[in-house]
Amino acid sequence: MPSVLPRRIAVISVHTSPLAQPGIGDAGGMNVYVWQTAVRLARRGVEVEIFTRATSSSDEPVVRAAPGVLVRHVQAGPFEGLDKTDLPAQLCGFSAGVLGAEAAHASGYYDIVHSHYWLSGQVGWLAANRWGVPLVHTAHTLAAVKNASLATGDTEEPRLRIVGEQQVVDVADRLVANTGTEAAELVSMYHADPSIIDVVAPGADLDCFTPGDAAAARADLGLDADETVVAFVGRIQPLKAPDVLLRAAAPLIDAARAEGRRPLRLLVVGGPSGTGREHPTALADLAVELGVADRVTFLPPQPAERLAQVYRAADVVGVPSYSESFGLVAVEAQACGTPVLAADVGGLGVAVADGLTGVLVDGHRISDWGNALEKMLADPQRLDAMGAAARRHAERFSWDRAADGLLASYSAAIEAKRSDRHARTGRLRWRRRSRQEAWL
């Protein structure tokens, strides 16, 4: 147990609420992360207050979402009609709401600020500085990493975001990375001080995501029991690359149909997000173009209990993303005993044990994905072995373990703040010197 524990944490999640359904709009793995860690921190006796932007007039200003967990909906700009890219202009109003909540209490009400994503980091920077408490920051995604591996048709992250991320990296007391890969990217791309980076892997709800009866799950979802099912779960946008999985599966669907073999179905669960909202029917249109629309089923984003049924119903879950800081879908699927076919990018190399619980594909060539998928589906015994190993592998990634890691990071930040008020000045000098050397 860490030597110093916070009594109360201010968690900043500007652009998306932990109460939102993942897979809709900008809601995704970060929502799950914030919610699951908040609940488990609260179970350890730490009060958690989550600040997020109100997106509906029906949002209650304060919601007691779970024992020890408050969600504060801060009014900043119009409720609807704002994209994530519009939110930098609303940070002043959001910051005022956060500071106003603290002002209603005695000094020292919050012991630490934990910000998620760079927009929240900007607000957390101000709040932590005003309250004289440490700032812990989790990036979740990094613009420089995304821009280095853009999907076809996607747009680069703006310079504004890169500058904003750099500012937060420079001022944070601790940085929490999902994997060692992300930690290395923070150092190499943002010149972060390695000594303040903590690697804390996200997890899965191992009580919700469990192995189960595949036939019953298919019946529950309205799928035929005698089909082979490949599933994609996530936001439908170029970054997540569902088109890669569809293009890879299409020839296998045609071959099964022509040869009278067990039919193959692609199950897509999610909604348009990001640049995918510009053409919300693009994936369905592609299925028509490829002549496999009758073998592709689209479902809207599902709550966790139903999502577990999706994983159980699938023979393989595909995660073809161009960039993933970790890959919660991969871990959730494995927790349900389902092998994963994933791109070998970012944290997916940690989330999936290549050759043991799934297969990692280098790059996004359709032929490579098609060959890998065909080989997996052609060997049922190997799939069964992968499924059994998948659950054991997923048990390494629990939200309880993630909460323990966060508490250790918080403790280190609080102790450093108390013992050396000048430590940040030294780090800033180190970072400036590091960047100057990199620019020479």
Does 311 appear as a known binding residue? Answer: yes
Does 147 appear as a known binding residue? Answer: no
Does 184 appear as a known binding residue? Answer: no
Q: Where are the domains of the chain?
A: 8-203+399-439, 214-394
H helix runs in 4-142, sequence order:
29-43, 91-103, 117-131
Does 305 appear as a known binding residue? Answer: no
Give the span between the Cα atoms of 275 and 154, in whole angstroms. 7
**CA nearest 183: which of 120, 138, 240?**
138
- Give residue 276's pLDDT: 64
- Domain covering 8-203+399-439, topology: Rossmann fold (3.40.50)
Residue 271 has pLDDT above 90, yes or no: no
Does 117 appear as a known binding residue? Answer: yes
For 222, counting Cβ atoms within 10 Å of its Cβ (0-12 exposed, 13-18 middle, 19+ buried), the class is exposed
- Give residue 439's pLDDT: 45
Give the span between the Cα atoms of 10 and 111, in whole angstroms. 8
**Could you tell me which residues are beta bridge partners of residue 141?**
none
Does 227 appear as a known binding residue? Answer: no
Q: Note the Cα 175 to chain centre separation in Å.
A: 16
Mean pLDDT rounded to a whole number for the chain: 92
Q: How many residues does the chain have?
A: 440
Give the span between the Cα atoms of 54 and 119, in whole angstroms. 15
Residue 273 has pLDDT above 80, yes or no: no
Does 295 appear as a known binding residue? Answer: no
Does 31 appear as a known binding residue? Answer: yes
Does 30 appear as a known binding residue? Answer: yes
- Give residue 280's pLDDT: 82
pTM: 0.90
Give the span between the Cα atoms of 207 and 286, in whole angstroms. 37
Average pLDDT (362-378) is: 97
Give the span between the Cα atoms of 269 and 314, in whole angstroms. 12
299 CB neighbour count, 10 Å cutoff = 18
Residue 327 is encoded by which pair of tokens?
């890959």
Contact (CB, 8 A) for 326 and 351: yes
Residue 375 has pLDDT above 70, yes or no: yes
Residue 381 is encoded by which pair of tokens?
């015994």
CATH topology match: 8-203+399-439 vs 214-394: yes
Tell me which H or E stretch contains 304. Answer: helix 304-313
Q: Coil, helix or strand for 136?
A: strand
How does DSSP assign 161-206, residue by residue?
Answer: HHHHHHHHHHH-SEEEESSHHHHHHHHHHH---GGGEEE----B-T
Determine the straight-line distance between the first and last CA of the chain, rounded to whole angstroms. 44
pLDDT in tens, 102-141: 988 988 999 999 999 999 999 999 999 999 999 999 999 9
Average pLDDT (286-312) is: 96
Residue 405 has pLDDT above 50, yes or no: yes
Residue 432 has pLDDT above 70, yes or no: no
- Give residue 58's pLDDT: 87
- Give residue 81's pLDDT: 77
> What confidence category does residue 381 fall into, taking pLDDT thresholds of 50, 70 and 90?
very high
Does 130 appear as a known binding residue? Answer: no
Does 141 appear as a known binding residue? Answer: yes
> What confidence category does residue 192 fall into, taking pLDDT thresholds of 50, 70 and 90?
very high
323 contacts: CB under 8 Å, gap ≥ 6:
141, 145, 146, 149, 239, 345, 346
> What confidence category does residue 28 fall into, taking pLDDT thresholds of 50, 70 and 90?
confident
CATH for the 214-394 domain, from 3.40.50.2000, 3.40.190.10, 3.50.50.60, 3.40.50.1380: 3.40.50.2000
Residue 33 has pLDDT above 60, yes or no: yes
In Å, how far are 23, 258, 378 from 360, measured between CA atoms?
Answer: 23, 29, 17
Contact (CB, 8 A) for 386 and 315: no
**Residue 120 backbone dihedrals phi, psi, to 5 degrees:** -65, -35
Q: Is 148 left (phi over 0), alpha (psi -120 to 50) or beta?
A: alpha
